[in-house]
Structure 1
Amino acid sequence: MSKRRARPWLVDDGLWLRIEPLLPSPPPGRQRPGRKPVLEDRRVLCGILFVLYTGIQWEWLPQELGFGSGMTCWRRLRDWNAAGVWRRLHEVLLDELRAADRLDLSRGDRQHPRPGAQWRPKTGRSPVGRGRPGSKHHVICDATGIPLAITLTGGNRNDIAQLIPLLAAIPRVRGRRGRLRQRPKEVCADRGYDHDGYRRQIRARGTKPVIARRGTAHDSGLGTKRWVIEQTIALLHWFGRLRIRWETRDDIHEAFLKLACSLICWRRLHSTLR
């Protein structure tokens, strides 16, 4: 097994070159004489990725790895998310994927419920989880499975209510000369999104809705287009911290979601650059 596969939480040079310019500068007070030296950002980021990959609790982060304490990593994740680091990183990687002709701007979308340990912000009684509290990850991807946007809601929220917010959350993708691309050519979705009112809203945004209708046969062929979103969801939930929502604060869980989307984009781009 390669070193990269054996320890995926180690940040390679290519990814760090893209992240470092996005990080906010430390407060001036951190540099005063007599203060404890600030742990370098790259090592702290490795600690954050260790928690994301393994699903370990923050307080159990092994000190011998040299990534700092779990509380240090938690605070840095919170602050960087508030500064928009993960959102901008995702946009940067999408731009590079489009420039490399690896982004196919036709779309697929779906949601997936995640159980939660207790009642927390953006949780609700999941109708598929015996009424237990949980959250939903709503994802939209391109035709090859690259995640374009992700949102978090309670497990009791109707799937279709997040269709328009997901479309609106897609960033304007650069990477080529000409107009920025944001609207998909078409949106593929399953029967859970079958509603003529939402079809009209999608068409009003300049996008063609390709949504299965309830009561029709299952041999429409739409599944051949939508399998990529299943792959994207599987990749997201391969990260141990995203399988069950342990975070009390919804912004911390959303930070992990955005970071995971960026890592999936980076893997796809890294395979192109090699």
Structure 2
Amino acid sequence: MASLVERLVPDELWVLFRRVVPPTEVIRPQGGGKRRADDREVLAAIVFVATSGCTWRQLPPVFGPCWQTVYRRFAQWSRERVWARLHRVVLDELGSRGELDWSRCAIDSVSVRAAKGLLTGPNPTDRGKLGSKIHLVTDRNGLPLSLGISGANLHDSQGLEPLIRRIPPIRSRRGPRRRQPAKLHGDKGYDYDHLRRWLRARGIMPRIARKGIESSQRLGRHGWVVERTVSWLAGCRRLHRRYERKPEHFLSFVGIAATLICHRRLTAA
């Protein structure tokens, strides 16, 4: 089991996770009682659920803690925004090493079918079936910088401003923290003059395809990186279909997938 836990949660990721996880509260100061499940074993079980796509009840007992404990810990860490902080810490490590390229960023979204819950809506590309939409902004290398979810019936253009505002101030190899790209590439779903004006007012040069003027092939020279990142997110099978009733739980799985993508680049650097 130790080898499985170390494979799912490498030492480098565990060190970063310990920086963001809240301290453990002592429920029984007098001692006694059942030993608290190890955080690393629980984290490995959560990563297994995210990557394999199994349900909580199908979680194999090889990890040690039962599935109820793993789910309670996942819900607690989701409320405390541990996954968002972990993603930001990994981005800071990448930025300090110069692995983030802010010269060209790209924005896109992908729809997934949803079983229930808030932030869902009829998907116009899936015969009106209930679904949710994942929005993301990536750097030039395809590393996710900002994430968000919405109902599948929300237009892509409405997600641009919240995503750009949600990019955290990330460390750089030299100079102050940075949170704005030099250019932003988007498909024709973002072809609105007010979005271009909003981006230019913040010093971001819009590179958005125009309806009826520019072909999609021209955007593909630079926008394919975000489509590749979408395929990387699909590697976490828990994102193939949304089963979570609470939107913050589904967003947590999106954040876990994005963190794994960034950490893979961090270990390869």
Residues 184-234 of structure 1, C-alpha deviations (whole Å, 9 max, x = no match): 101100001100011111111110110001012426622110000011000
Letter in 1 for 2:195: Y
Question: Paired residue for 2:252?
Answer: 255
Question: Paired residue for 1:20?
Answer: 18
Q: Please give the alpha-carbon distance, in whole angstroms, between the structure 2 residues aligned to 1:170 and 1:115.
A: 26
Residues 75-104 of structure 1, C-alpha deviations (whole Å, 9 max, x = no match): 111211222221121111111112222110
Q: Please give the alpha-carbon distance, in whole angstroms, between the structure 1 residues aligned to 2:75 and 2:243.
A: 15
Moved more, 24-33 or 249-258: 24-33
Q: 2:95 is matched with which residue: 88, 93, 98? A: 98
Letter in 2 for 1:108: A
Q: Please give the alpha-carbon distance, in whole angstroms, between the structure 2 residues aligned to 1:30 and 1:54.
A: 35
Q: Which runs of 5+ in 2 are unaligned?
A: none
What's the CA shift for 1:253? 0.8
Residues 128-152 of structure 1, C-alpha deviations (whole Å, 9 max, x = no match): 0111110000010000100001100
Q: Please give the alpha-carbon distance, in whole angstroms, between the structure 1 residues aligned to 2:230 and 2:30.
A: 46
Question: Paired residue for 2:188?
Answer: 191
| 3-state SS in 2 of match to 1:60 | coil
Q: 1:222 is matched with which residue: 213, 219, 243? A: 219
Q: 2:109 is matched with which residue: 101, 108, 111? A: 111
Q: Which runs of 5+ in 1 are unaligned?
A: none
Question: Paired residue for 1:141?
Answer: 138
Question: Paired residue for 1:34?
Answer: 32
Q: 1:206 is matched with which residue: 203, 207, 214? A: 203
Pair 1:51–1:220, CA change in 2 (3 A): closer
Counterparts of 1:43-192 in structure 2 under 5 Å? 43-63=41-61, 65-105=62-102, 106-118=104-116, 120-192=117-189
Contact residue 5 and residue 63 of structure 2 kept, 8 A: no
Contact residue 9 and residue 50 of structure 1 kept, 8 A: no
Residues 32-80 of structure 1, C-alpha deviations (whole Å, 9 max, x = no match): 42321100100000110110011001011111x1241222111111211
Q: Please give the alpha-carbon distance, in whole angstroms, between the structure 1 residues aligned to 2:254 and 2:217.
A: 32
Q: Please give the alpha-carbon distance, in whole angstroms, between the structure 1 residues aligned to 2:165 and 2:28.
A: 38
Contact residue 107 and residue 140 of structure 1 kept, 8 A: yes
Q: Please give the alpha-carbon distance, in whole angstroms, between the structure 1 residues aligned to 2:37 and 2:5.
A: 21
Q: Please give the alpha-carbon distance, in whole angstroms, between the structure 2 residues aligned to 1:38 and 1:148.
A: 34
Contact residue 9 and residue 47 of structure 1 kept, 8 A: no
Q: How many residues align?
A: 267
Pair 1:138–1:32, CA change in 2 (3 A): farther
Pair 1:203–1:140, CA change in 2 (3 A): same
| 3-state SS in 2 of match to 1:14 | helix
Fraction of identical pairs, as percent: 37
Residues 124-173 of structure 1, C-alpha deviations (whole Å, 9 max, x = no match): 00000111110000010000100001100001111100000000010101
Q: TM-score, normalised by structure 1?
A: 0.92
Pair 1:177–1:217, CA change in 2 (3 A): closer
Q: Please give the alpha-carbon distance, in whole angstroms, between the structure 1 residues aligned to 2:53 and 2:30.
A: 35
Q: TM-score, normalised by structure 2?
A: 0.94
| 3-state SS in 1 of match to 2:242 | coil
Contact residue 16 and residue 86 of structure 2 kept, 8 A: yes
Contact residue 136 and residue 152 of structure 1 kept, 8 A: yes
Contact residue 110 and residue 139 of structure 1 kept, 8 A: yes
Residues 4-35 of structure 1, C-alpha deviations (whole Å, 9 max, x = no match): 9x989621111111111211112221554232
